[in-house]
Structure 1
Amino acid sequence: MLFPDLQILLLILLRTGGFVAAAPLFSSRGVPMALKVLLTVILSLSIYAFSFTGVVLPPLTDDLYLLYVLREILMGLTMGFVVQIVYSAVLMAGQLVDFQIGFSISAVYNPMSGITQAIMGRLYSMTALVLIFVTDAHHLILGAFYKSFEVLPLGVGFSVTIGTGWLLKTFSVFFAIAFQIAVPVLLVLLMTDLVMGLVSRTIPSLNVLMLGMPLKTLIGLVFSMMGLPVLMSSLFKVIGDMSVYLELWIQRIS
């Protein structure tokens, strides 16, 4: 077996590495792998220095220590996934607007997020990422992650069933939030479709198909710019919920 201090540090590294690999603000593909590894090591050393200096794990066999290793990897990945669920509300809102405004056809692979996004989707996601760091929300998220070592110490069991059910419920909540973020622009575009349908019935000679798409794009862009204050307030709410829901998940499974 490894030395006791190294055992503890390795478990902290695994939980931290899983979190960094899954959390949206750290897992971006635009962040170099060397920087991710450096961040994982720095966070792990700080957690060990302030919380685990002098702590000794009970004697462990190789098989039992392997279970500890798997548990910490799963714990870190799940906590990162909780933050990702909250952030996905912004991504889904952008995709809904893109589909309705007609930008989905211009969707391309976004190397930063690792998914295919169109214009509004990239705008929403990049704005949210910037706001995370501008509002210091990343400090709150890291604070909640640090707290997980107090609520869920190394080697302590947790309820997988309760955690999974809570994740599914949270995903449905933030799917509804994604629709709420996108609904102002969606309603305007829906009204545009209704008006164009009435115009086509009134003036049959008018080519609505040729006129409708550019008009929807123009109206969608104009109202998206007009609705920026509403969008920003919605994004602030979603960003603030990241650390809150991470703490709720930690408390739920403890």
Structure 2
Amino acid sequence: MTGPMAEKVLLYLLAFLRAWGVLAFLPVFGSRNVPWMTKASLALITAFVVFPFVPESKIETGAEFLALGARDFLFGALLGFMGRLFFAAAETAGQLISYKIGLGLGEILDVQGEYSLPVISNFTGLLALLVFLASGGHHFYFKALVESYRIPLEGKMASVAKGILERSPMVLELALRLSAPLMVLNFLFYLGLVVVGRAVVQMNVFLVSLPMQVGLGLLGLGVLLPHLPPVMKGTWEGLGRWLLQVLSP
């Protein structure tokens, strides 16, 4: 293909592939429940929005176009995967809380990933989704896509991939920060049971421990609930600032 119009079409297809990479891995939009036609339509619309920022470049051969397409899709997938890390941290925190308060065996189907999760893990995942949307996480990805066209991508792919790998421990760090208060509460509860069991030998502490553990855990979760969204929001905004800093010229 030659000519100005053909070059515009090829550049638009490259923008579409980069947007498709983001949407394929981005939470909510990348869910299996979202039909692929819907994802393709969203990617086409996103590519249309960011197309004015795509720099002019000549594509000489089909092999060059395939290489650029693979590069753009991979870069978009890296951006989307960063959002996956945030949601994985929230779900991991929910799993830790579920096991500590005695609800680890109560699982329900996660409608986004189509796999079973403990009840509390599903709840923290949905809470992270609300924080993501309320803090403009979907708008952030539009901005990140636009910023990615202001820099030569060849020099940033490795740094973005390396940075995401370095921030992978954030999953465990955020999960522990969210679940630590209830883990401490659970430890103190069992410490109290040991004292009661020693003081009142006739009491069957194992019989009364589970309902008390669940009730105390749910009460603690209710007290902790107002403090979870600010922690999630701070972590997400920190990830966003880091990525925009990496993408800055």
Give TM-score, length-normalised by structure 1.
0.87
Q: Which residue of 2 aligns with 1:6?
A: 9
Identity %: 21
State which of 21, 40, 45 in structure 1 corresponds to 2:24. 21
Describe the shift of the 1:212–1:28 C-alpha distance in structure 2 as closer, same or farther (beyond 3 A): same
Q: Which residue of 1 aligns with 2:50?
A: 47
Q: Which residue of 2 aligns with 1:197?
A: 194
Q: Which residue of 1 aligns with 2:181?
A: 184
Q: Are residue 223 (structure 1) and residue 224 (structure 2) matched?
A: no
Q: Which moved more, 1:219-228 or 1:127-136?
A: 127-136
Residue 167 (structure 1) shift: 2.0
Q: Which residue of 1 aligns with 2:82?
A: 82
Q: Which residue of 1 aligns with 2:210?
A: 213
Q: Where do 5+ consecutive residues of structure 1 fail to align?
A: none
Describe the shift of the 1:145–1:99 C-alpha distance in structure 2 as closer, same or farther (beyond 3 A): farther
Residue 33 (structure 1) shift: 3.1
Matched pairs, number:
246
Amino acid at match of 2:49: S
Describe the shift of the 1:248–1:216 C-alpha distance in structure 2 as closer, same or farther (beyond 3 A): farther
- For 1:62-81, list aligned pairs within 5 A: 62-81=62-81
Q: Which residue of 2 aligns with 1:33?
A: 36
Q: Which residue of 1 aligns with 2:108?
A: 108
Partner Cα separation in structure 2 for residue 132 and residue 159 of structure 1: 25
Question: SS in structure 1 opposite 2:49?
Answer: helix
Check conservation: 1:141, 1:246, Cα contact below 8 A. Answer: no
Question: SS in structure 2 opposite 1:117?
Answer: strand
Q: Are residue 126 (structure 1) and residue 129 (structure 2) matched?
A: no
String of CA shifts for 1:181-215, please: whole Å, max 9, x gaps. 11111111111111112222332332222211111
Amino acid at match of 1:51: F
Residue 147 (structure 1) shift: 1.2
Partner Cα separation in structure 1 for residue 192 and residue 210 of structure 2: 13
Partner Cα separation in structure 2 for residue 58 and residue 108 of structure 1: 51
**RMSD of aligned alpha carbons:** 2.2
Partner Cα separation in structure 2 for residue 242 and residue 87 of structure 1: 12
Check conservation: 1:83, 1:243, Cα contact below 8 A. Answer: no
Asked which structure has the greater RCO (Cα within 8 Å, sep 6+), the reply is: 1
String of CA shifts for 1:55-75, please: whole Å, max 9, x gaps. 542242222222111111111
Amino acid at match of 2:218: L
Q: Which residue of 2 aligns with 1:147?
A: 147
String of CA shifts for 1:127-171, please: whole Å, max 9, x gaps. 12122223333212321222112224xxx4145554443222201
Partner Cα separation in structure 2 for residue 247 and residue 115 of structure 1: 32
Give TM-score, length-normalised by structure 2.
0.88
State which of 165, 170, 175 in structure 2 corresponds to 1:168. 165
Partner Cα separation in structure 2 for residue 201 and residue 151 of structure 1: 67
Question: SS in structure 1 opposite 2:109?
Answer: strand
Check conservation: 1:22, 1:81, Cα contact below 8 A. Answer: yes
Q: Which residue of 1 aligns with 2:99?
A: 99
Residue 249 (structure 1) shift: 4.7
Q: Where do 5+ consecutive residues of structure 2 fail to align?
A: none
Describe the shift of the 1:72–1:59 C-alpha distance in structure 2 as closer, same or farther (beyond 3 A): closer
